[in-house]
Amino acid sequence: MSAPRVGVLALQGDVREHVEALRAVGAEAVLVRRASELESVSALVIPGGESTVMARLARVFGLFVPLQQRIAAGLPVLGTCAGMILLADSILDPAADGEGVPQESLGGLDVAVRRNAFGRQVESFEADLLIAEDPRPVRAVFIRAPRVERAGPGVEVLASVGEHPVAVRQGSLLATAFHPESAGELRFHRALVAQL
C-alpha cells in the first residue's frame, strides 16, 4: 500500500516541523498552497503561526472556501495552535472583545477558543499533560496559545490545563492548543494518519 498523502497548509507558520512529523509517521507530506493541492490530499495539518494572517492568506490564495468545503465533507484535519483557532466555530479574542469585527475562522469544530489565553506573563510555557487513556504524558509546548472556553456536546476533551481543554477531537477533526511537533510528539500525527 502506498503512503497516504497528507497536506500541510503552507501559507505561514511552522510548516517544516509538521512535514517532518508526517514523514516520521509514514505519510507522504504535501505542501498545500492552492486548491488543486488541497484536492490531492486525504488529510490535512493546519500548523501553528498567526491565525489572522493564515485566514487572510487563505482568502488571497483562493483556499478559504475550498478548505471550508472539504472540512465540512469530513476531511481529517489536525490543527495545532493557530490551526486550532482556524478550526473553531467561534473565536474569542481579548484584543477584539467588545469592539470590531470578530475574527474569521474556517470552522467545523464546535468550540469557542480564546486567543492568547494564557496571559502576558506566561505567553510561552511547557507542561506534561496526560492524554485520555494514555499513561505516557505529552510534552506540550504552548506559544501564545489559545484555549477552549466552550465545547459542544459532540466534542471529546483529550487534555486540559486547569479547567480548560487544550486538546480536543470531534469526528475527523483533532486540535491542540500546543505544538506537539516542536517537542517531537508524534501521537497526534499518528492519530490523524490512522484515520486514512
Nearer to ligand GLN, 27 or 46 (CB): 46
Q: Which of residues 43-62 bind ligand GLN (CB under 6 A)?
A: 48-51
Neighbours of 41 (CB within 10 A): 23
Match 465533507 to its residue by C-alpha cell: 73
Closest approach of ligand GLN to the CB of residue 106, in Å: 13
Specify whether 81 is catalytic.
yes
Active site residue 181: yes
Site string for ligand GLN, 2-41 (x = CB under 6 A): ----------------------------------------
Catalytic, out of 17, 18, 20, 81: 81
**Would you say 42 or 116 has its CB closer to ligand GLN?**
116
Q: How far apart are the C-alpha atoms of 75 and 159, rounded to whole Å? A: 23
In 3D space, the residue among 88, 63, 74 whose CA is nearest the CA of residue 165 turns out to be 88
CB nearer ligand GLN, residue 21 or residue 143? 143
Among the candidate windows 33-41, 80-88, 163-171, 184-192, which touches ligand GLN by CB under 6 A? 80-88
Q: Which of 27, 28, 32, 29 is CA-nearest to residue 13?
A: 32
Q: Name which position in 33, 70, 115, 147 contacts ligand GLN (CB under 6 A).
A: 115
Is 126 considered catalytic here?
no
Residues 140 and 129: beta-carbon distance below 8 Å: yes
Q: Is 116 in the site for ligand GLN (CB under 6 A)?
A: yes
Out of 109, 113, 143, 158, the residue judged to bind ligand GLN by CB under 6 A: 143
Binding positions for L-glutamine are 49-51, 115, 143-144
* Binding site residues, ligand GLN, CB under 6 A: 48-51, 81-82, 85, 115-116, 143-144
